[in-house]
Amino acid sequence: MSADPRPTTRGPLALIAGGGDYPLQLARSLTGSGERPYIAALEGATDPAAFGAEADVATYRLGQLGGLLDELRRRGIADIVMLGALPRPSFGALRPEVSTLKYLPHFAKAFQGGDDHLLRGVVRFFETQGFRVHGPAEIAPGMAAPQGALGRRQASPEQRAALERGFSLLDALSPFDVGQAAILADHRVVAIEAAEGTDAMIRRVADLVARGRLKIGKGDGFLVKSPKAGQDLRVDMPAIGPDTLRNIAEAGLSGIGLRAGAVLVGDRATLGQQADALRLFVEGFP
């Protein structure tokens, strides 16, 4: 194959695709560079038709892991990338087919812990089965936050100082396996994300402003987002998207600081245009 211009040691690729727009963007990026990945669309999470008529796509339930591995081996595929939201686990989706049963003991331990533990277990499983797991940013570097601004606006030196404080806060939280995002405003930290997720945290700040509990001046108010130390960016990369920018603008905040190369932003040009339209800066920092 491969008119792929990027230096790579990998062979043909399988994309295990969950929900959301990012698996579609990743597939387009690969197609754009002349690859035709084998796409395993997870049933209930993504529509296989969305990958286009030309795509080499099949649908799998989670319980069909055995069948998927058999198919990958038959095709000589040893390189995998996984991206997108998993389907809500249902007994139907999990019901293992016969070829999957033998793999279940591998997962018994992985399920006895938090999300990180589970994801690390999944990577380890594929590796013990002889596959290489690649991160989406490694396969399509253009989908990760670059260094610098996505649109026309840039953080001022003062705003940048607040963002640096935010990144330091996220670093300090890292050992506690929490805190991929925080919001700074009014010269202080006003929200820290834990189990509720980034969008709920942004709405909370909007609500504090609406109830007069928090004042955000013009040019004030920033989201910072960064992976935790040791987070496996191959299977668990933080991400922002058009909804994030819309929520940030609705909350009256001014911008977003991202750890460059470590947060998915999808299509940079589109997001940069949206940032300009909403008068936000969206900027990656080393």
Contact residues: a copy of itself, CB under 8 A: 113-114, 165, 168-169, 172-173, 175-179, 182-183, 186-196, 200, 204-205, 208, 213-214
Q: Return the number of the residue (46 or 180) whose C-beta is nearest a copy of itself.
A: 180
Please answer whether residues 227 and 192 qualify as being in contact, where contact means their C-beta atoms are separated by less than 8 angstroms.
Answer: no
Q: Which amino acid is at 213?
A: R
Q: Return the number of the residue (161 or 269) whose C-beta is nearest a copy of itself.
A: 161
Helix axes 242-250, 198-210, angle to 10 degrees: 10
CB of residue 194 vs a copy of itself: minimum separation in angstroms? 5
CA dihedral for 87, 240, 168, 147, sign (positive or negative): positive
Closest C-alpha to 183, from 213, 153, 204, 157: 204
CB of residue 280 vs a copy of itself: minimum separation in angstroms? 21
User: Token digits for 32?
Assistant: 């754009």
CB of residue 14 vs a copy of itself: minimum separation in angstroms? 30
User: Token digits for 262?
Assistant: 């470590």
Q: Return the number of the residue (37 or 257) whose C-beta is nearest a copy of itself.
A: 257
Cβ count near 61 (within 10 Å): 20
CB of residue 111 vs a copy of itself: minimum separation in angstroms? 13
User: Token digits for 218?
Assistant: 């013009």
Q: Return the number of the residue (72 or 214) whose C-beta is nearest a copy of itself.
A: 214
CB of residue 134 vs a copy of itself: minimum separation in angstroms? 27
Closest C-alpha to 15, from 33, 35, 32, 44: 35
Q: Return the number of the residue (50 or 110) whose C-beta is nearest a copy of itself.
A: 110
> In terms of DSSP bridges, do strands 56-60 and 79-83 run parallel, antiparallel, or are they unpaired?
unpaired
